[in-house]
Amino acid sequence: MKSFRILLICLLAVLLVAQTGVAQNRKAGLTGASFLKVGVGARNVALGTAVTALSGDVTQMFYNPAGIALKDQTLQASFTYNKWIADIGHSAAAVSYNIEGVGTIGVGFITFGLAGIEATRDIPVDPGLRQFQIDNNVSTTYDYRDIAYQLTFSRYVMDQLSLGITVKGISQTIDGEGATAWAVDFGSVYDIGVLDWKIAARFNNLGSDLLFYDIASPLPMQFTIGTSIMPFKNEMMGVMVAVDAAKPQDGPLYLYSGVEVRVTNMVALRGGYKFNYSGTDEVPGTGQSAVNSTIEGLSAGAGLRTSLEGYEVGFDYSFTQMDLLDAAHRCTLTVGLK
């Protein structure tokens, strides 16, 4: 009965979020720190980022902090490299440690940026106007770098329920000018107890604005609920299906979906798709369509797991189809200590 009540609450939340997404116009581009929207972890991205209900994975600190809670391992670490569009570098690292009787503590960071961008500077010829010049740099190139660093805590408050919180600092720098902000994430994962069925919820990027000069940009807040279930599982093979419903502050309701097929618990094949994530926005009052609101399409990937003298080592790869741009490739190395 308790599980049914929790499931009913989640379904009602989905309907509420869906109504909000339909009633509200798209407001893409109103938030800052857009690099926080870029997926971290090859497994997560291959599943279409339908990962809110996943648990026992250190990379969950970048999604649902409740998901990093460890039961069968003492320590877990991961590193992800992403060949993002336009040669932008995107990397992330995370480490979690389980303290018996206390919970799982994790630290992580994300770095995103590009160096050596050709600069075109508008320097006034009239000396009398130069006092009003904001850009005083004279270099022929410039760099930009986004960084997020965070501390995550999660624990099982009961055998089937884990809760988590993340506190993060965010820094953006471009051509010598910078802005900082802070944010928190909250999350929960509940194991219903049959077919590895889990339901979960998370709220990301609740915090301060980024301020460049006198222009403030809010962080990309998002509320997500999700579920995952394993309808088929035996000693040789298992199939997991996951679905998320996400409502970002600057967009409509998104639906993420993913499927993972595991063979002998060593090899995994994955695929995912984001519904309502690509398309065109209508220009208000004109009836005409604007440019594509997003560019990501189908995602797929594979993973390999093995045990080496008390360590569990995993390597994951994902491929993301991009509209009009080069595809994105991610690789993640994960090491766990029992």
Q: What is the pLDDT of residues 21-66, one digit of tens each?
A: 433 444 555 788 889 999 999 999 999 999 999 999 999 999 999 9
CA nearest neighbour of 246 among 234, 238, 255 = 255
Q: Is the pLDDT of residue 81 over 50?
A: yes
At residue 34, φ and ψ (nearest 5 deg) are -65, -20
Taking the mean position of all CA atoms in its chain, how far away is CA 301? 17
State the amino acid at position 74 in one-letter form: T
* Least trusted range by pLDDT, from 26-40, 69-83, 139-153, 264-278: 26-40
Distance CA 212, CA 214 (A): 6
Predicted pLDDT of residue 25? 42
The 10 Å CB-count burial string (b at 16+, else e) for 117-150 is eeeeeeeeeeeeeeeeeeeeeeeeebebbbbbeb
Distance CA 131, CA 329 (A): 46
Q: Yes or no: is domain 2-337 CATH 2.40.160.40?
A: yes
Predicted pLDDT of residue 119? 75
Distance CA 257, CA 273 (A): 5
Q: Is the pLDDT of residue 10 over 80?
A: no
Predicted pLDDT of residue 330? 93
Q: Is the pLDDT of residue 298 over 50?
A: yes
Q: Is the pLDDT of residue 144 over 90?
A: no
At 187, the pLDDT band (50, 70, 90 cuts) reads very high
pTM, full prediction: 0.83
At 133, the pLDDT band (50, 70, 90 cuts) reads low
* Least trusted range by pLDDT, from 76-80, 82-86, 149-153, 295-299: 295-299
- 59 touches 81 (CB < 8 A): no
Q: Which helix (H) or strand (E) holds 335?
A: strand 328-337
Distance CA 37, CA 169 (A): 15
Average pLDDT over residues 211-220: 85
Strands 222-233 and 198-207: antiparallel
At residue 13, φ and ψ (nearest 5 deg) are -65, -40
Average pLDDT over residues 249-259: 89
At 283, the pLDDT band (50, 70, 90 cuts) reads very low
